[in-house]
Amino acid sequence: MQHPHRPTAAERARTLAAGLLVGALTAPGPREPIPVGCVTDDDGVTAILVREGPERAALGLAFGTDAREDRHSDVDLPAVLDILDAPLGPDAPPRARLWLSGWLRAVPARRARGLALAYAARRPVGALLDVNDGCALYLLEPEEVRLTSGDGLSDVDLDEYLAARPDPLHAVEHALLADLAERWPDELTALAATALRAPAVGAGGDLGQVHPVGLDRYGLDLAYRRGHWFHRVRVPFDEPVDDEAGALAAVRALTKGSGHGANVRAR
């Protein structure tokens, strides 16, 4: 069976919406996008967490002054949630950006705390603990999903987005990349050199320092510099992994140099 070499657009979108990244909400009422926390459940419904303040007040007015009461709980407003997965460092390439367009609903105060705890069991975002105590809870039902990445702009099929699951390494990606950069710089350079079919630094080649800039269940992304430009190299794993231990074992297998050349693809 042939395995994918990178996440699908739907998987990347669900990963960005999982709850680790801050979003910006555009909705009727506030004049500017509001910085918000967000967590998405298994059904694809995103909890939006808005801190008390002028923006929250303006959003409340758009729903009605008693937006959190039961008599207004059936009001839906159009909204767009913008989530940026920023580069991990100054030498890293752009990563991805997600736009979720759909219908926003205010959660009544009497229901918000219990719902927040249910979302917190899925992803312990700190703002969930402040619901009804300095933070208001809304739900965004997605209708359109758009993702931009190094592969371009994608209109993600809604059914595929709802069926996809976040990458299991997303929460530990930064720590793993830092560990790889510190412990295995020579091995990573060798992997990049294999992809490019070029000698590495120290062997007459012009391949600059290699940085690990992305990691997911399907493989590893490396970046290197030639002249004034950064380039990326994709190193897929032999099999998708499910956790941190599996990712480390997969990278270790690649760095042993045993047949890894056939598994490396440049992009």
Q: How many Cα atoms occupy the beta-carbon half-sphere of 235 within 13 Å?
A: 31
Alpha helices in the chain (DSSP H): 9-16, 54-63, 109-122, 158-163, 173-183, 185-196, 244-255
CA distance 250 to 108: 47
Angle between helices 185-196 and 173-183 (to 10 degrees): 90
Question: May I ask the CATH class of domain 171-266?
Answer: alpha beta
CA distance 232 to 94: 11
Do the domains at 9-165 and 171-266 have one common CATH topology?
Answer: no
Quick one: pLDDT at residue 139? 96
Quick one: pLDDT at residue 200? 52
Quick one: pLDDT at residue 86? 82
CB under 8 A, 24+ apart: contacts of 180-184: 180/212, 180/215, 180/220, 180/251, 181/211, 181/212, 184/251, 184/255
Q: Within the chain, which residues score under 70 in pLDDT?
A: 1-3, 65-73, 89-93, 195, 197-207, 226-229, 257-267
CB atoms within 10 A of CB 264: 21
- Exposed/middle/buried for 36, CB within 10 Å: 0-12, 13-18, 19+? buried
CB atoms within 10 A of CB 217: 25
Q: What's the CA dihedral at 116, 24, 14, 166 to 10 degrees?
A: -60
Would you list the domain boundaries of the chain?
9-165, 171-266
- The dihedral region occupied by 257, where left means phi > 0, alpha psi between -120 and 50, and beta the remainder, is left
Quick one: pLDDT at residue 230? 72
Quick one: pLDDT at residue 236? 92
Quick one: pLDDT at residue 1? 46
CA distance 131 to 229: 46
CB under 8 A, 24+ apart: contacts of 199-204: none
Q: Which has the closest alpha carbon to 100: 42, 221, 18, 175?
A: 18
CA distance 210 to 9: 26
Q: What is the DSSP letter of 156?
A: E
Evaluate whether the domain defined by 9-165 bears CATH number 2.30.110.10: yes
Quick one: pLDDT at residue 172? 94
Q: Which has the closest alpha carbon to 141: 97, 80, 96?
A: 80
Neighbouring residues of 188: CB distance < 8 A, sequence distance ≥ 6: 180, 181, 210, 211, 212, 222, 255
